[in-house]
Structure 1
Amino acid sequence: MRYRFRSMTALVAVAAVGLAACGGDDDASDDTSEEAEPATEATDAAEPADEPATEDGADISVALVLNGELGDEAFFDSANRGAEQAATELGIEVRVIEAGLDAAGWEPALRSAVASGDYDLVITGTAPMADVLGPLAEEFPDQQFVFYDAALAADNIHSITYAQNEASYLGGVVAGGLTSSGIEGTNDDLVVGFVGGLDLPVINDFRAGYAQGAASVVPDVEVLTSYAAGFGDPAQGRELAEAQIDQGADVIFQVAGGTGFGVFEASTGRGTYAVGVDTNQNPLAPGTIATSVQKNVDVSLFQAIERFAAGDLPFGVTETLGLAEGGVSLAMDEYYEQIVPEDVRTLVDEARDAIIAGEIEVDTTLGS
């Protein structure tokens, strides 16, 4: 049974704030979020946090500076959930600062948080923030940072990256399995699609794993690839997806933030399938989104804050979190089970186990 796309009007509004970084269902809390105030590779040495916090974390204050806004139902909402969890479970004071989509506001927002001296730990993320964070980390050597979804080598930065290619491989297995399954919504062409928000290395890392996973099921599969002009244009996402559907694609993986909502709309309207990104987006279009490639930013940030509070978060290093560490995963819920045939789900389980065991080396665009 196919279902209608849920609340497309609301999601288009959300898309205006959806800058994908390509990363619970609770909405962002007003108590932890405020608008911004005006204003690589790891090093070998690892420095622990200066002093352990109190056991309940009550003496620790943390700022999470987002180079975007909440409400994307993906990457930034996931980061916020991790911060909220730390505030709730660890008793840590957490302030979430939305720096907005305009890059001109990112440096003032981050500088304001750092220069205030109010925060023991400042967290920010995504590759576009590297040029902002790098100089500030050097200017404020006593401030400690967590930088997620990208890496910077500095003695006062703990970097977190994600093996999104591993979870994307599983998404590709789903796509390859569906396009060759003959189920309703597929065609005889062995073609799947990929829509990225921009042509960036991290976006292409998703594509690399996806294409490899699809080819593991259908060796001669064709992967159509399109890039939008950004992460907040669902109309363009729909246009790109419809063009791929016209070329035979019956499963499209979107790594495009708010632009990807248009992919979901196109797939729903044309009766084909889609793969979501960053968080479990399956409920956004039941019967259309077969699964989602999850980048578990919330889990990683909560764990980083917890380790910092315990005095055991190393600085000057980069940690990469993949399937084995729970940093990435594939959404396997009732929506997944409704769409994906059992034999394909078995292939996914086998591929996941093989990747974790090191039996499958997943392609990447980010180097070793």
Structure 2
Amino acid sequence: MKKYLNLLLLMLIAVVAAACGNGEGSGTGSESDSGDALAVTLLVETTGDLSFNDSAVEGIAAAQEEYGDQVSTEVIEYGSDLSRMEGNFLDAADEGADVIIVPSQFVDLVATYAPDYPDTQFWLFDTDFDYEAGDYENVYSIVYSANEASYLGGYLAASTSESDVIGFLGGMDTNIIRDFYVGYAQGALEANPDIEIVSSFVGAWDDSARGKELGLSMYNQDASLVFNVAGGSGVGLIEAAVEQDRQVLGVDSDQAAMYEAQGQDDYAAVIPTSVLKNVGDSLNRAIGLHLEGNLSTGATDYLGLVEEGVGLADNDYFKEAYDQELIDETLEKRQQIIDGEIEVQSAYDMSPEEIEEVENSVRP
């Protein structure tokens, strides 16, 4: 982990220096015109969220280190101006990238343009894809079973809440974020049938001021811990937790470790664990499979606890926050999910009315 964090920090410095959020790219390995190297371009909105986007960047950095001159990588920030998405996407394709990796926001662009670039592979992460809608043999997608790891996070949160109130902060109100929520609620109710969950959505991924405001509101409603599923907006939530001496359940990356690596120990200390969506590992895995000739394009990979696509951060903060008995209980729940003894509900399989029913079951 430390090795990847160091790589990530170096990459972030390079990205900021070269791009400054304006959609320009920064090379992260060998030159883009280097021989037979696999040219991989990753597009993210911004770096520095210490969560989802940075995990993706970390995975690209890991692949560059692992595969050396077999891979040439580039990270492009398209920024908060969403009108730049299409231009940056098409620029990457026109410049001859072999693989273009993009998050779920690009699903419509991939559906529109992938057939026009048959020699380019388009990898979507954190979303499914409708392969029946056309000829998409050059498309690959990854879905993370975040509900499974969120169940474990909810179980821990409810088990240790003295107020019987916990919280949930989402960035945008989407099925992806609701999938975190329903697993979280199910695990919390398993641990404590009297648990209540206060929840809010920021409406943006990069509004830390609003994230802090909503976080303070939830802590003022006696939430002992709030689940941070808000991207860059969640930075404000963590600030609120530090001020209120409350806790945050991290998301996507091991957020405590990432803050600790930056010297922000006060931020790390309020994050007892994180629900991991192992984006970086999944992208590194996909690059490795592609180089071996074993990546199944034209299909979706579903990565859950079994595949280690999701999980919980196990670090010193985790061991200090929870006693061994609770850790063992949580590990037992994890194994029961893997063995199929516990079926975790998923927003992808639920109607809006069913999701609302879950919310009502834990609403204060």
Render the CA deviation track for 1:104-161: whole Å, top value 9, x for unaligned.
11111110111122x22221122x2112221110222232121111122222101111
Structure 1 residue 236 displacement after superposition: 1.4
Distance 1:227 1:195 in 2: 6
Residue number in structure 2 paired with 1:87 = 64
More helix by share: 2
**Contact 2:208–2:234 at 8 Å: present in 1 too?**
yes
Structure 1 residue 66 displacement after superposition: 1.9
Residue number in structure 2 paired with 1:62 = 39
Residue number in structure 2 paired with 1:295 = 277
After TM superposition, the structure 1 stretch with the greater mean CA deviation from structure 2, 325-334 or 267-276, is 267-276
Residue number in structure 1 paired with 2:244 = 270
Render the CA deviation track for 1:39-70: whole Å, top value 9, x for unaligned.
xxxxxxxxxxxxxxxxxx97232333323122
Match of 2:39, SS? strand
Residue number in structure 2 paired with 1:286 = 268
Distance 1:95 1:287 in 2: 33
Structure 1 residue 346 displacement after superposition: 1.8
Distance 1:192 1:58 in 2: 53
Distance 1:138 1:58 in 2: 26
Distance 2:287 2:35 in 1: 12
Residue pairs, 1:200-211, within 5 angstroms: 200-211=174-185
Distance 1:157 1:312 in 2: 14
Residue number in structure 2 paired with 1:249 = 223
After TM superposition, the structure 1 stretch with the greater mean CA deviation from structure 2, 158-167 or 261-270, is 261-270
Letter in 1 for 2:74: R
Structure 1 residue 78 displacement after superposition: 1.1
| 1:318 is the counterpart of 2:300 | yes
Residue number in structure 2 paired with 1:114 = 93
Letter in 1 for 2:323: P
**Contact 2:44–2:75 at 8 Å: present in 1 too?**
no
Structure 1 residue 273 displacement after superposition: 1.4
- The share of aligned pairs that are identical, in percent, is 36
Structure 1 residue 229 displacement after superposition: 2.1
Distance 2:218 2:160 in 1: 16
Residue pairs, 1:1-368, within 5 angstroms: 24-26=4-6, 27-29=9-11, 33=15, 35=19, 36-37=23-24, 59-91=36-68, 92-117=71-96, 119-126=97-104, 128-152=105-129, 153=131, 154-179=136-161, 187=162, 189-283=163-257, 284=259, 285-367=267-349
Distance 2:349 2:65 in 1: 37
After TM superposition, the structure 1 stretch with the greater mean CA deviation from structure 2, 325-334 or 336-345, is 336-345
**Contact 1:64–1:97 at 8 Å: present in 2 too?**
yes
Distance 2:118 2:335 in 1: 42
Structure 1 residue 214 displacement after superposition: 0.7
Structure 1 residue 31 displacement after superposition: 9.3
Tell me the TM-score normalised to structure 1 length. Answer: 0.81
After TM superposition, the structure 1 stretch with the greater mean CA deviation from structure 2, 228-237 or 203-212, is 228-237
After TM superposition, the structure 1 stretch with the greater mean CA deviation from structure 2, 196-205 or 280-289, is 280-289
Distance 1:254 1:205 in 2: 13
Match of 1:198, SS? coil
Structure 1 residue 102 displacement after superposition: 1.4
Structure 1 residue 237 displacement after superposition: 1.5
Residue number in structure 2 paired with 1:50 = none
Letter in 2 for 1:320: Y
Structure 1 residue 200 displacement after superposition: 1.0
Distance 1:37 1:111 in 2: 13
**Contact 1:99–1:105 at 8 Å: present in 2 too?**
yes
**Contact 1:231–1:257 at 8 Å: present in 2 too?**
yes
**Contact 2:49–2:235 at 8 Å: present in 1 too?**
no
**Aligned structure 1 segments of 4 or more residues deviating by more than 6 angstroms:** none
Tell me the TM-score normalised to structure 2 length. Answer: 0.82
Count residues with an aligned counterpart: 317
Match of 2:55, SS? helix
Higher relative contact order (CA 8 A, sep 6+): 1
Distance 1:80 1:267 in 2: 26
Distance 1:37 1:241 in 2: 33
Distance 1:356 1:30 in 2: 35
Letter in 1 for 2:150: S
After TM superposition, the structure 1 stretch with the greater mean CA deviation from structure 2, 356-365 or 335-344, is 335-344
